[in-house]
């Protein structure tokens, strides 16, 4: 059974279609990478999965749980969103850490609030887990620092730990290294690779082609709101068939040369 199923997802802004009939599915432990030129709808797709945008049409299913079905108004209610979005985690391009909290507090804030609502007050459990996550990110010596005292790469790793702390089924990344200086992208990509090795289910939007090649089980090439080509890295990156994919990758290679 696929962990995620997206069916016929459509989204437009002011009558301009941005996502036009997107369907795909992925298995638990898989890494799917989305590539495509600017404006093709990659961010919008991730935002729909995380309920930051409401799709106009379509179905989003995690395991057997229908999280969203445009034809079933019951699944679209504001009140239910909160619980449903916890199936997903999202790492933003611009980190969006909370500046008034330390690295550790950034991670424990949301789990503590949720635990309080559930009536369990396992503060030390939440803290220990956050400490472990930061260690895993290579930040054991930065736990008490505030975001402005951290480099971009360190901030992004805190943001990844923050998303992981809620145990999402699927962790989404929207160009996690685009806001970083080139010398800092490596440390973030390394962390994501290590998550892939631990079979973390991830959807990654990135422009780092060689990283995408290494980390992904599947590549989705998006063009103008549709999935133009989909397959293994060998198929899509090494031997693209679609005209637009070929063009996109050759532009990309030119830019890199």
Partner 1 sequence: MFATVTLTLFGGFLQTIKLFLLTLLFSLPLGLLICFGSMSNVRMIKVPVRFVIWVIRGTPLMLQLLVMYYGPGIILGVNIWGSGDTGRFVAALVAFVINYSCYFSEIYRGGIQSIPVGQYEAGEVLGMTRSQIFFKIVLLQVIKRIVPPVSNEIITLVKDTSLARVIAVYEIIWEGQSFIKSAGIIWPLFYTGVFYLLFSGLLTLLFGRIEKRLSYFR
Ligand X SMILES: Nc1ncnc2c1ncn2[C@@H]1O[C@H](COP(=O)(O)OP(=O)(O)OP(=O)(O)O)[C@@H](O)[C@H]1O
CB 184 within 8 A of CB 151: yes
Given ligand X, partner 1, Mg ion, none, residue 41, with its beta carbon under 5 to 8 Å by kind, binds ligand X
Cβ proximity to ligand X, 71 vs 254, nearer residue: 254
Among positions 136-175, residues that touch partner 1 (CB under 8 A) are 146-148, 162-163, 166
Tokens representing 45 are: 């797709």
Does 15 interact with ligand X (rule: CB under 6 A)?
Answer: no
Residues 6+ apart with CB under 8 A from 253: none
Q: Work out how close the CB of 16 gets to ligand X at its nearest, in angstroms, rounded to a whole number.
A: 7
Q: How many residues bind partner 1 (CB under 8 A)?
A: 28
In the sheet that 65-69 helps form, which strands lie side by side, from edge to edge? Answer: 16-26, 4-13, 57-62, 65-69
The interface partner of residue 44, options being partner 1, Mg ion, ligand X, none and the CB cut-off 5 to 8 Å by kind, is: ligand X
Longest Cα–Cα distance in the chain: 57
Beta strands in the chain (DSSP E): 4-13, 16-26, 31-36, 57-62, 65-69, 88-91, 170-174, 202-205, 218-223, 226-231
Tell which positions 10-69 bind Mg ion, by CB under 5 A: 43
Q: Interaction with partner 1 in 24-63: which residues (CB under 8 A)?
A: 50-52
Distance CA 42, CA 21 (A): 13
Judged by CB, which is closer to Mg ion: 37, or 136? 37
Residues of this chain that bind partner 1 (CB under 8 A): 50-52, 82-83, 85-86, 88-90, 92, 94, 96-101, 109-110, 113-114, 146-148, 162-163, 166
């Amino acid at each position: 059974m696929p962990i995620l199923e997206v069916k016929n997802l459509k989204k437009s802004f002011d009558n301009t279609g941005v996502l036009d009939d997107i369907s795909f599915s992925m298995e638990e432990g898989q890494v799917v990478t989305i590539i495509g030129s600017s404006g093709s709808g990659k961010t919008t797709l991730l935002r729909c999965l995380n309920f930051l945008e409401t799709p106009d049409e379509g179905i989003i299913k995690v395991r057997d749980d229908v999280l969203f079905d445009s034809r079933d108004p019951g699944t679209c209610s504001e009140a239910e969103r909160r619980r449903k979005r916890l199936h997903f985690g999202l790492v933003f391009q611009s980190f969006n850490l909370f500046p008034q909290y330390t690295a550790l507090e950034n991670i424990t804030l949301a789990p503590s609030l949720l635990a309080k609502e559930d009536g369990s007050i396992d503060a030390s459990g939440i803290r220990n887990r956050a400490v472990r996550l930061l260690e895993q990110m290579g930040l054991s010596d930065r736990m008490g620092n505030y975001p402005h005292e951290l480099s971009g790469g360190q901030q992004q790793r805190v943001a990844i730990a923050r998303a992981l702390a809620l145990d999402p089924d699927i962790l989404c990344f929207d160009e996690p290294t685009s806001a970083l200086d080139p010398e800092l992208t490596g440390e973030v990509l390394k962390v994501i690779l290590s998550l892939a090795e631990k079979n973390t289910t991830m959807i990654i939007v990135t422009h780092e082609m060689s990283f995408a090649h290494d980390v992904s089980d599947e590549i989705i090439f998006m063009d103008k709101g549709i999935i133009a080509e989909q397959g293994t890295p060998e198929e899509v990156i090494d031997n693209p068939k679609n005209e637009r994919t070929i063009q996109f990758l050759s532009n990309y290679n030119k830019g890199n040369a």
